Amino acid sequence: AELDSLVRKLWEVDFIGLSVEGETPVGAGEQFNSFNERAPKSLAIATGAGNSILIDLENFEDGIEAALSPLSDTLSNGFIQKFTHDLKRTTAILKKYEIELEGVTEDTLLAAYLLDATRSKYELDKLAFEISGAEAAIEFPENWDETNWKIAEAADFTVRIAPILRKRLQENELEIIYETMELPLAPILAEIEANGLHVDVKVLNDLTALFTIELEKLTTQIYELAGKEFKISSPKQVGEVLESLNITTGKKTASGQISTSKDLLLELAETYELPKRIVEFRELEKLKATYTDALPKLIASDNRIHGQLNQTSTATGRLSSSNPNLQNIPIRSELGQKIRAAFVPETGNKLISADYSQLELRLLAHVTKDEVMLEAFRDGDDIHTRTAELVFGARDKSDLREKRRLAKITNFAIAYAVEPYGLSQRTGLTVKEAKVVIQTYYDTYKGVRRFMDETPEVAREKGFVASIFGRRRYFPSINDRNHNIRTRAEREAINLPIQGTASDIVKLAMIKVSDALKRENLSARILMQVHDELLIEASEADAEKVAGIVKQAMETAVTLDVPLIVEVGTGENWMNAK
């Protein structure tokens, strides 16, 4: 009777706060996994501040089904506005009872993230205290256990702070990005996590065996070159060995140890064999530990790996990946490609990879309005070849290959506001040569230079820089007295319109692709998003059609001053789908 009364009331109020109990508590962030989650034992609904009602599903007198039946209609009805904290989590948990959550108009997690993307955590109780002064309980009433109280409290907190956060979003012109991008994306991410990726364990085991043999060979070579045995994985011992052989730049870490960072070792590797082999050893050891050893242990009961895509963990708006981090598999290395080959479709299916071509450089052209760069992309020219000719003076095929390589590195480095030393490290040029290259680049692409000069000034004046969709990043250290801190903030400010907009476009593309696949009633599903790439699984019969739909959706996700190009491939594994 009480439940019936509550359900009737839900149809009379303008909005409700919603919180569900689960394996991981509200605000667990990167620890939350949509697939591993179990069905909730309780949920809470708040019809106003201070009016939160807990429904103990596990102990409901007429059984869970009797409780869920009337609630399901309410929760899946889009006309009743719902507020929650972490829509991805709420969606995934309710799906365990086959409830399709609709009508969520506020997610206090996503709203808080858009307002300040540099926070490390967005815990609801802390947000509630900061925003409304509401305090989380320390002691609990006699008949309540802590978990249930916190679930009820969470529903109450969302009702209290959601309207305040909404007002702040409006004041900061973040409402459109909130409604058209972040809110619609959250349920799609829950779906992607639940989908998971199918893995060929044999490929991984074979790679582990191969990596073990290669590591043994490298170990022997390193000991021979060093003239002694030592712990190769110890930076301290590596530094001591290199110093004893006079192979050092003299640079030290903050703690006084000899630096053996990758950049320094690569610099030394141009002259010496030993640091080169140590870099190879480190990279191979990391691939083995992170992927070929670890991935088989992450395979779930459905023979798939279910990682997490984190929506609120980067300052630029990019999604991050964890448990496992599939975004960190080296794409261009042969060994990284071999790891990608372990990701395969189910029998009778194909994998489809759809990747934006040079998205960040196209955005550099769009954002800077540089006429030379815009013309190159509009004419369908290769931007790296154009830069090789205009900046590096390539005249014929004989020197184009090397100069195009340098041009490619330079194009991407400029997008990150690289300085001469940084460019010299990446290209092998001297610092003096790199300085000339950067100056020539800016003389050629004058719009880029203007953008590089103006953007830090915008950050100083406004305190923030925005993507073309309005995503903001604040830079409190842009006027810092410390030169290193200030210049880092300037570089990040220059990069935000590019990185932030790239993240926005990929998110819009994911929403558009998901909608298109559902509209066409196709069984194809998105498996992963890595940088500017979407990975999709489709039946062999539908693969060609799906590839076309995905390409069309991604290329029309947004209209820019330059065309967006998506490269699509299908294959028997992730490697050969590229």
Q: Residue 374: which residues within 8 A CB-CB, separation 6 or more?
A: 365, 366, 561, 562
Q: Which of 394, 294, 320, 337 is nearest to 577 (CA)?
A: 337
Q: Residue 23: which residues within 8 A CB-CB, separation 6 or more?
A: 36, 37, 38
Do 131 and 103 touch, CB atoms closer than 8 A?
A: no
Q: Which of 549, 558, 560, 551 is nearest to 518 (CA)?
A: 549
The angle formed by the CA atoms of residues 383, 387 and 393, to the nearest 5 degrees, is 145
Angstrom distance (rounded) from CA 372 to CA 375:
5
Q: What is the pLDDT along the chain (578 residues), one digit of tens a residue?
A: 678 888 888 888 889 999 998 876 665 555 567 787 788 889 999 999 999 999 988 888 888 888 888 889 889 999 999 999 999 999 999 999 999 999 999 999 999 999 999 998 999 999 999 999 988 887 777 788 888 999 999 999 999 999 999 999 999 999 999 999 999 999 999 999 999 999 999 999 999 999 999 999 999 999 999 999 999 999 889 988 998 898 876 676 666 677 788 878 887 888 899 999 999 999 999 999 999 999 999 998 888 999 999 999 999 999 999 988 888 887 778 888 899 999 999 999 999 999 999 999 999 999 999 999 999 999 999 999 999 999 999 888 888 888 999 999 999 999 888 899 889 888 888 999 999 999 999 999 999 999 999 999 999 999 999 999 999 999 999 999 999 999 999 999 999 999 999 999 999 999 999 999 999 999 999 999 999 999 999 999 999 999 999 999 999 999 999 999 999 999 999 999 97
Q: Of how many residues is the chain composed?
A: 578
Do 511 and 184 touch, CB atoms closer than 8 A?
A: yes
Q: Residue 130: which residues within 8 A CB-CB, separation 6 or more?
A: none
At residue 322, the 3 state secondary structure works out as: strand
pTM beyond 0.85, yes or no = yes
Q: Residue 531: which residues within 8 A CB-CB, separation 6 or more?
A: 327, 506
Could you give all domains of the chain from N- to C-terminal order, each with its CATH number? 2-195 (3.30.420.10), 201-298 (1.20.1060.10), 320-358+503-571 (3.30.70.370), 360-497 (1.10.150.20)
Do 543 and 570 touch, CB atoms closer than 8 A?
A: yes
C-alpha separations of 471 from 169, 183, 309, 368 in Å: 11, 14, 19, 17
Angstrom distance (rounded) from CA 275 to CA 287:
19
pLDDT of residue 40: 86
pLDDT of residue 27: 57
Q: Which of 500, 529, 499 is nearest to 514 (CA)?
A: 529
Angstrom distance (rounded) from CA 560 to CA 277:
45
Angstrom distance (rounded) from CA 458 to CA 450:
12
Angstrom distance (rounded) from CA 478 to CA 457:
9
Angstrom distance (rounded) from CA 515 to CA 221:
54
pLDDT of residue 249: 67
Q: Which uninterrupted H or E stretch holds 184?
A: helix 183-195
**Residue 130, CB half-sphere, CA atoms under 13 Å: how many?**
10
Angstrom distance (rounded) from CA 161 to CA 129:
9
- Burial of 407-439, coded b for 16+ CB within 10 Å and e otherwise, reads bbbbbbbbbebbebebbbbbbebeeeebbebbe
DSSP symbol at 257: P
